[in-house]
Amino acid sequence: MVKAEDFFFSGFLTPGNTSNPVGSYVTPVNVMQIPGLNTLGISMVRVDYAPYGQNPPHTHPRATEILVVLEGTLYVGCYTPGEAFVFPVGLIHFQFNTGKTNAVAIAALSSQNPGVITIANAVFGSNPKISDDVLTKAFQVDKNVVDYLQAQFWWPNN
């Protein structure tokens, strides 16, 4: 039975907790939060950034994204409130708060379930681990660098 709650989400009213290693928090609203989005082909996220926080390099395998800065200054291609930037489906992208104050952005995505793959997590935090030989050659770095990166905890901010 369909009900009004299947089409409502109030989670964007509350800023996300940005006191984590990357300094950002992503609040999604997709088909998991609003069942009424099923088959509509849209979703959104609110991204909160601490000063100098970032939304690490990531990709959405099933959606194009348009990001609008609401507060603060972000390094992405758009800089100030009201400006927008488009990231085509599958393109690796990031946002970095260049300001000394918090920043907030809203993004719309062209899928009710866009998915997200954070690059560092996928490459250096994979389970099972990707072979040192593969990563050493791919990134043209010493094996000690790869071992160090694989030993880190990769923060899942989304």
Binding residues: 55, 58, 60, 65, 93
E strand intervals along 1-90: 24-29, 43-49, 54-59, 65-71, 74-75, 84-87
Residue listed under structure tokens 């923060």: 155
Written as one letter, the residue type at 67 is L
Element spanning 108, H or E? strand 103-109
Do 118 and 69 contact (CB within 8 A), yes or no?
A: no
**Binding site per annotation, positions for oxalate:** 55, 60, 65
Token pair listed for 110: 């062209």
Backbone angles phi, psi at 38, to 5 degrees: -55, 130
Binding site per annotation, positions for Mn(2+): 58, 60, 65, 93
Nearest to 12 by CA among 28, 23, 34, 30: 28
